[in-house]
Chains A and B, each alone.
Chain A
Amino acid sequence: MSASGRSPAETRKLVEAGLKKRNSSEKRFQAYGIFGVLIGMLFLAYFFATIITDGASAFFQTHVKLSVHFDPEVIDPKRTNDPAVWEKANYTKLIKASLSEIFPDVSGRRDKKALRQMVSSGAPFELQAMLEDNPRLMGQTLELWLPADDEVDMFYKGKIDRDVEESRRRVKDNQIVWIDRLAEQGRLEGKFNKTFFTSGDSRDPEMAGILGAMKGSFFMLFVTLVIAFPLGVAAAIYLEEFAPRNRWIDLLEVNINNLAAVPSIIYGLLGLSVFINFMNLPRSAPLVGGLVLALMTLPVIIIAGRSAIRAVPPSIREAALGLGASDVQTVFHHVLPLAMPGLMTGAIIGMARALGETAPLLMIGMVAFIVEVPGTPFDPSTALPVQIYLWADSPERAFVERTAAAIIVLLFFLLVMNGLAVWLRQRYERRW
């Protein structure tokens, strides 16, 4: 102070003069921080709101009530009672017949075709399946709720604007008239979309479901868990409890840390050239997907496992060793059970990440269009995130809401898994 030649009073004045500016700068800086946090949260809120509003309507599918006559003349004109004949019969004719009952005034090839197209092209298969289940339906007339076509569904849900000029929308003017008439008669209703959870992929949005993708993901996660969990835990045990401190082990640790940061798509390249080209494993199979994801999650599980094992205090080990246990016994009888909640939390978080992973699966051919629901890990299949990718690329308007619905299902599974991890941590975590 004396060096700058100011008296204490002067200095005090100087500081007080700047104080206001400094305080407001302080406030501003704090506001920036709050702003950053708010942006993140706002994005999250907007994101969830969009996905949910986009996807919620896909859990309901518009159905049309038709009185279908299982006409023997159409299905089995020669009365063979042969299931093969029944299977090949033209069930679309039944739907046409019941539609013209409701709309007797519709005539002309084009109009009739437009009318028939309002009912899903999957509806005939439903009729066939019903008859196969219960042959006694033959000759009877039933009031059935059949799925409507995806464009009708979109219109009925208000996702196609009727004020747009006709050439620019997929539902034509005459179809709108018919839809209104069906709605007046109470023959149009949004029902719970069971198909979405019980069938595989399809080109028709109203027939497409995520069961195939879910099973594919399930098989994949199963393979991943079976491979990555034991290997990861074993590696973590070795590195924490048995490994000598030398340069090789240092290298191994650096290696594991780097593996955790390798882009996932590189693991896809590994899977393609090692598992598919070199080992000749089947393409598009959940087995290969699971192997690739296992290699990807392994570093995550090892890193989490090591910190869980490190958290077990040395006194436990010393007590066990003091009572005459061997070091292997100490680890497997005492350290491992105590570290188990932490190990499982790490594994679940790794699994959750694997469930959402898409890029490596594209490399190993899991993007194929697969209708059949896989029965084993060797069957070709897609996975939930890949299904989302495929549907997001589809041009049909109705696939947008189904994509969002699949996302909701995926996020639900992730939520459950992460919730489980948090619960495990809180329930079993011990502070030493």
Chain B
Amino acid sequence: MRLSTIILVLFGIALASFFMGRQRAVNVAGGVREIRSLHSLPGYYGYYAAIWSFLPAFILLVAWLSFADQFIISSVVSDLPLAYQTVPASEMNLVVNDIRNLAAGNIASADPKPEIIAAVDGYLSLRNSSMWILSALCLVVALAGFVFAFLRITPKQRARNNVESMVRIALVLASSVAVLTTIGIVASVLFEAIRFFEKVPVTDFLFGLTWSPQTAIRADQVGSSGAFGAVPLFAGTLLISFIAMCVAAPIGLLVAIYLAEYATKKVRKTAKPILEVLAGIPTVVYGYFAAITVAPMVRELGEFVGLEVASESALTAGLVMGVMIIPFVSSLSDDVINSVPQSLRDGSFGLGATKSETIKRVILPAALPGIVSAMLLAVSRAIGETMIVVMAAGLSAKLTVNPLEAVTTVTVQIVTLLVGDQEFDSAKTLAAFGLGLTLLLVTLVLNVIALQVVRRYREDYD
């Protein structure tokens, strides 16, 4: 019995219940002409029956699926020969993984031993019978739910209110997914980060000056004790973000001013969407462009001037990232500039100021808080940006402010630490979560400050 079949059957039962419930409602009312004696429209009785036949069975299905595998594995493990019962948990995990892989038909790590093969057979048969029991149970629960609802359909029954309160509960649950996501993000990053900080002290991480996350695989290996000082990463991130902001802030602001104050409606209508295209291009494409086109260009330009530029440089990554966030800066600043009241402009013009004087002396100061918050949001965007730096900035954790050298960033290191095989108890893998926590906190603080500034500023003029 495949899972998809069970779900399809459940849907089928729900659909049938809808029609039968609706028909039953019409029947108990005494025919189509008499349905005004019903409390609700017949369709609501149908929905009522459908919900009762689908929901309990579906909840059962989800609950069963989330716990069944652990039960099966633990019972399989307890059936293993005694020699296996005493091994440490990490080795036990390997054995369990072998069993899972063999059961899925993949190649396991070594030639399977006979007891493992027996365990795999046990696992498969248990899983099979679990599936059968589940489908039988689902069917029974669905039919029971249907019968329960069907029998309760009477003209007095408040079907609409029942269905509507279900709908309201569903809406609340949907909204709570956003909260769950936040909890999930914080919990997943925080727990692993705490495990990391148990191995590496927080002070070493935040103030250490060397980053070389290669930990020894064997105890007798030399020269790779692993150093987790994240200062070079922070410096690299800041350097690249700074270069990006040097590009994006002036150009974005000028574009915003031009489009908001000078451009005719027609120019504005064409130029704005064209520039927004820049924001719609995937970052991996920017990364390719930076690595293949911009990097050689920067290097040649450097040679021309007589400077040595690394093939992967902070400058390249920063320039391209700057272009990427131009529309971000400009559209946010555009909103802010547009929300400056017209009366301020009129007042300034009335005193004889030119347009640029009005902009520089009146509008920009009035819009300053908003513009600052736009810049903060852009910085947080630049700090969290991943693909451009992964492809164009390099991996060497050097502590430098020279934009022509290769630097590495927090996001690059998260990617390099987590791509490929991972062990979840090594400091190397957990370091990624430490970095993730730092990144999350910094971007969060920037965002909260920016939103706060915007909110306060808006209150001034409303």
CB within 8 Å of B: which of A259-298? 259, 261-270, 272-274, 277, 279-280, 295, 298
A36 to B247, CA, bound (A): 10
Residue A388 CB within 8 A of the other chain: yes
Asked, given contacts A255-B182, A392-B287, whether A359 binds B189 with beta carbons under 8 Å apart, the answer is no
Contacts of A404 in B (CB 8 A): 288
**Contact of A23 with B354 at beta-carbon distance under 8 Å, contacts A237-B171, A266-B436, A356-B284 already known:** yes
Q: B289 an interface residue at 8 Å Cβ cutoff?
A: yes
A32 to chain B: which residues have CB within 8 Å?
254, 258
Find out whether the CB atom of A270 lies under 8 angstroms from the CB atom of B281: no
- Residues in B whose Cβ lies below 8 Å from that of A25: 354, 356
Q: Look across to chain A and name the residue whose beta carbon is closest to the beta carbon of B324.
A: A43
* B259 contacts across to A, CB distance below 8 A: 33, 37
Residues of B contacting A: mostly? helix
**Chain A 336-394 residues near chain B, CB threshold 8 A:** 352-353, 355-359, 362-363, 367, 385-386, 388-389, 392-393
- In the complex the two chains form, is B251's CB within 8 Å of A40's CB? yes
B227: A residues at CB distance < 8 A:
none
Inter-chain contact B436/A261, CB cutoff 8 Å? no
- A274 and B174 contact, CB distance less than 8 A: no
Q: Report yes or no: B414 in contact with A328, Cβ–Cβ below 8 A.
A: no
Q: Roughly how many angstroms separate A255 CA and B411 CA in the complex, as a whole number?
A: 23
Contact (A274, B188) CB under 8 Å given A30-B258, A265-B414, A362-B419: yes
Contacting residues, chain B, for A255 (C-beta < 8 A) = 178-179, 182
| Contact status B448-A258, CB under 8 Å | yes
Nearest chain B CB to A139 CB, angstrom units: 39
Q: Is B372's CB within 8 Å of the partner chain A?
A: no
Contact across chains for A326 and B182 when beta carbons are under 8 A apart = no
- Pick out which of these stretches binds chain B: A155-163, A201-209, A227-235: A227-235
Per-residue A-contact encoding for B244-267, CB less than 8 Å = 1, 0 else = 000000111111011100100000
Interface residues on A, range: 35 or more
Q: Which of B252, B277, B293, B385 contacts A44 (CB 8 A)?
A: B277
Residue of chain A at shortest CB distance from B414: A265
A37 pairs with B275, CB closer than 8 A: yes
Are A262 and B178 in contact, with the CB atoms below 8 A?
A: no
Give the total number of A-B pairs whose CB atoms are below 8 A apart: 242
Which of A37, A238, A243, A279 counts the most B-chain CB atoms under 10 A from its CB?
A37
Q: Which residue of B lies closest to A391 (CB)?
A: B288
Q: A50-B289, A358-B284 are in contact. Are A298 and B385 (CB under 8 A)?
A: no
Instruction: Name which of A72-80, A98-106, A407-415 contacts chain B.
Output: A407-415
Q: Does B175 make an interface contact (CB < 8 A)?
A: yes
Whether A36 pairs with B171 at a CB distance below 8 angstroms is: no
The distance in angstroms between the C-alpha atoms of A404 and B285, with both chains bound, is 9
Residue contact B440 to A262, C-beta cutoff 8 Å: yes
Q: How far is the CB of A392 from chain B (nearest CB, A)?
A: 5
**Minimal beta-carbon separation of B392 from chain A (angstroms):** 10
Cβ-defined partner of A262 (8 Å) among B174, B185, B257? B185
Contact, CB under 8 Å: B439 / A263: yes
Instruction: Kindly list chain A residues whose C-beta atoms are within 8 Å of the C-beta of B262.
Output: 30, 33
Complex contacts, B289 vs chain A, CB 8 Å: 47, 50-51
A22 at the interface (CB under 8 A from B): yes
Q: List B residues 351-370 near A (Cβ within 8 Å).
A: 352, 354-357, 359-360
For B172, the closest partner residue in chain A by CB is A238
Q: Does B278 sit at the interface, judged by CB under 8 A?
A: yes
Q: Does A428 contact B (CB under 8 A)?
A: no
> Are A41 and B274 interface neighbours, CB within 8 A?
yes
In the complex, what residues of A have CB within 8 A of residue B439's CB?
Answer: 263, 265-266
Which residue in A235, A242, A410 is a CB contact (below 8 Å) of B285?
A410
Q: Which residue of A lies closest to B386 (CB)?
A: A359
28 chain-A/chain-B pairs, Cβ below 8 angstroms? A33-B258, A33-B262, A34-B258, A36-B254, A37-B254, A37-B275, A234-B170, A237-B171, A254-B451, A257-B447, A261-B381, A263-B384, A266-B185, A266-B440, A269-B188, A269-B433, A269-B436, A273-B188, A328-B164, A328-B167, A358-B386, A358-B387, A359-B283, A386-B284, A392-B287, A393-B391, A403-B292, A411-B285
**What residues of chain A have their CB less than 8 Å away from a CB belonging to chain B?**
15, 22-23, 25-26, 29-30, 32-37, 39-41, 43-44, 47, 50-51, 54, 230-232, 234-235, 237-239, 242-243, 252, 254-259, 261-270, 272-274, 277, 279-280, 295, 298-299, 302, 326, 328, 332, 352-353, 355-359, 362-363, 367, 385-386, 388-389, 392-393, 400, 403-404, 407, 410-411, 414, 418
Residues of B whose CB lies within 8 Å of any CB of A are 66, 69, 160, 164, 167-168, 170-172, 174-175, 177-179, 181-182, 184-185, 188-189, 191-192, 250-255, 257-259, 262, 271, 274-275, 277-278, 280-285, 287-289, 291-293, 323, 326-327, 352, 354-357, 359-360, 377, 380-381, 383-387, 390-391, 411, 414-415, 418-419, 424, 432-433, 436, 439-440, 443-444, 447-448, 451
